[in-house]
Amino acid sequence: MIKKINDRGYSLIEAIIVLAIAATIAGIAVWGYQSIKSSTSIRTTTSDLFSDMLSTQIQALTQRKTFFIVFGANNYTIYEDTYNAADPTSKEGDGILSINAGQDLKIGVYPKNPYYNIFLTTGDGKTVCGTTICFDQQGLFSFYQINNNVVTLSGTKAIVHFDFTNLSTAPEYSCVVIEKTRIIKGEWISASNVCATK
């Protein structure tokens, strides 16, 4: 005897349930992918900042020139001190950042596609915006400030970190610690405002 095969197919309810399950799985996958992509982007930007700072420090030391890194809200610009106000024909800098009319040589603006806000924190925990750091002719770090035409070099430690509050997990590398003679990458712990170096 031959059994009859049910060839009715799937019901509309069964098809809707399968589509709902597939859509839920796809939504979870897209959300997870976006979180990973954002975390990777911050880690890459932090590594680029770290590399740029090391490169700038090495250039300052080997070329015996002063270099400046000027921080904006979501980028930073590197300048080489090539202008001397006392002798404008000289290419030897005077240790003063002169960016008006392109007097000091602009190396570049980074990152090229800024996605996250950059915060610069002093060694005593104060967050400052628009601050400039300096690597002098010996490659030593200091904050650079001009008040009433008086240049002040100060500070022994700075922390640069990125805003990643919209991410579900903190990226492995999200901050850079700049000390007088060394630069270290780490993970920003926002609850305690600390960069845990690795």
Model pLDDT for residues 61-108, shown as the tens digit of each residue: 999 998 988 888 788 889 998 888 788 887 788 887 887 766 888 888
Tell me what the mean pLDDT of segment 102-123 comes to.
77
Q: What is the pTM of this model?
A: 0.74
Neighbours of 20 (CB within 10 A): 10
Strand order in the sheet with 76-80: 105-110, 76-80, 67-71, 132-135, 141-147, 150-154
Phi, psi for residue 156 in degrees, rounded to 5: -120, -5
Q: Comparing C-alpha atoms, which of 193, 128, 189 is closest to residue 154?
A: 128
Query: Which range has the worst mean pLDDT, 13-22, 50-59, 143-152?
Result: 143-152
Q: 15-24, 50-59, 156-165 — which is least confidently predicted?
A: 156-165
Nearest to 71 by CA among 41, 104, 39, 114: 114
